[in-house]
Structure 1
Amino acid sequence: MHKDNYRHKGKRQQLVEIVKRKGVTDKKVLGAIGKIPRHLFMDSSFEDHAYQDKAFPIAADQTISQPYTVAFQTELLELSKNDSVLEIGTGSGYQTAVLCELGAKVYSIERQHELYKKTKNFLEKIGYRPKQLSFGDGYKGWPEYAPFDKIIVTAGAPYLPKTLLGQLKVGGKMVIPIGKGVQVMTLFTRKSDTEFDKKEYGDFRFVPLLEDKN
């Protein structure tokens, strides 16, 4: 494992300030951004980029999301400790670690097998333990652990996967970037068995959510 030193910690605090200036106010979320060693989630040759507020390529043509985006999506979820959270797109595991840091019970699904294996090992090594990690199609959600308090989708969905909405508890929230090319960050709150409240929060860019074509 690479080290996490004072220089990294200092850079993380600068990153927290940037994320704050962009409008994230949730102290717990900012605390998680300030604590998690993001440079360890990236190829060591890119370490200098780890604490800039931008997305960066990782394995399997995926990216590690921009810290602001991670913080923004997490803030929209309004997490409580012990919330059960379904994460669609484990990716590098950075967002997963933020959810774990906030005390959520995380169930995370990754579509790319090499990424799934790598991230599973890595998260254990640095002490972040999601409840369950799975290799599979996120569009289907995870019926055996449903319903969830919160659902977070970390890749751009060309349309709203209805199956996921169905796996939310009443009172639960789902945050998902919807659209082709550019995505609109969308928050759904389940009001009853049949009613959902929908709010939109501006444009973001994500790598596309891959659907299992088999």
Structure 2
Amino acid sequence: MRDFGPQRESMVRRQIAARGIHDAALLDAMRHVPRERFVDASLQDYAYEDGPLPIAAGQTISQPYIVARMIEIARIAHGARVLEIGAGSGYAAAVMAQIAARVYTIERHGQLSDLARGRFDDLHYANIEVRTGDGTCGWAEAAPFDAIIAAAGGPDVPDALKQQLAIGGRLVMPVGRSLHHQRLVRVTRVDAVRFETREFDDVAFVPLIGTYGWAEEGARPMPSPSPDPFGP
């Protein structure tokens, strides 16, 4: 079996650390997770390039830097309980599982859920749980979460997800009224009723489809409990 270790180390050094991400636990996690195992065999030679790649169900595996950036913004630490919306290939959940105590990940495409679950089993990740369903509703029975990351862009931050944050917990997701342009937003739960919001980078993610995201056809946003895209 080919050794991708040198490519993995080069990715971390040139694409992640060189762009200002210095969290030691995060960099170490990205050095350990075999990204080539999360893409189709025909794309393994491209697994460590600086960009997204296609995966099953018409979705993508995010650029390595974007994965690292979202985890950094969410401030995921050892012992954390994390919810991911949009398992995709499973790569980001695997990186987070190297740091967090437990990762819960929801994917609306059953095909992707099955593939991710198989990869986690093959790589012996015992601290990741996978569910197929509507990620915009969260995973209430596993809440509260220290961090929530949504790997898809929605018209606003679903209130259902904010309510599943622990006090002090952080939610990171792309938010924008356009299907093709969003900004990364971090919502921090201050107490039972107050949330603080901070905006970060301009990004372009696949749409967040679901009850509190975009309609399936992508033509309009679904109704949201919060009329303010960045409000509490």
| TM-score > 0.5, shorter chain as reference | yes
How has the CA–CA distance of structure 1 residues 49 and 147 changed in structure 2, closer, same or farther, with 3 Å as cutoff?
A: same
For 1:177, the equivalent position in structure 2 comes to 174
Alignment partner, residue 185 of structure 2: 186
Work out the percentage of aligned pairs sharing the same amino acid. 39
Q: State the partner residue of 1:38.
A: 35
> How much does 1:159 deviate?
1.8
Given the superposition, is the C-alpha separation of residues 206 and 194 from structure 1 closer, same or farther in structure 2, using an over 3 Å criterion?
same
How far did residue 129 of structure 1 move? Answer: 2.7
Question: Cα offset for 1:141?
Answer: 0.4
Whether the 8 Å contact between 1:160 and 1:178 is mirrored in structure 2 is yes
Letter in 2 for 1:195: R
Q: C-alpha root-mean-square deviation of aligned residues, in Å?
A: 1.4
Tell me whether 1:12 sits opposite 2:8 in the alignment.
yes
Match of 1:200 in 2: 199
Which residue of structure 2 aligns with residue 65 of structure 1?
62
Q: Give, in angstroms, the shift of residue 4 of structure 1.
A: 5.2
Alignment match, 2:127: 130
Equivalent residues, number: 210
- Which consecutive residues of structure 1, in runs of 5 or more, have no partner in the other structure? none
Which residue in the other structure is 1:97 paired with?
94
| Preserved CA contact (<8 Å) 2:37 2:119 | no
Contact in 2 for aligned 1:79/1:104 (Cα 8 Å):
no
Shift of 1:31: 1.1
Structure 2 unaligned residues grouped into runs of 5+: 217-232
Contact kept in structure 2, 1:156 and 1:177, CA below 8 Å: yes
| Residue identity matched to 2:198 | K
Cα distance in 2, alignment partners of residues 46 and 84 from structure 1: 32
AA of the residue aligned to 1:41: F
TM norm structure 2: 0.87
Report the alpha carbon displacement of residue 207 of structure 1 after superposing the two structures with TM.
1.1
Q: C-alpha separation between the residues in 2 aligned to 1:30 and 1:94?
A: 14
**Whole-Å Cα distance in 2 between the matches of residues 58 and 24 of structure 1?**
26
Equivalence map 1:111-122=2 (5 Å): 111-122=108-119
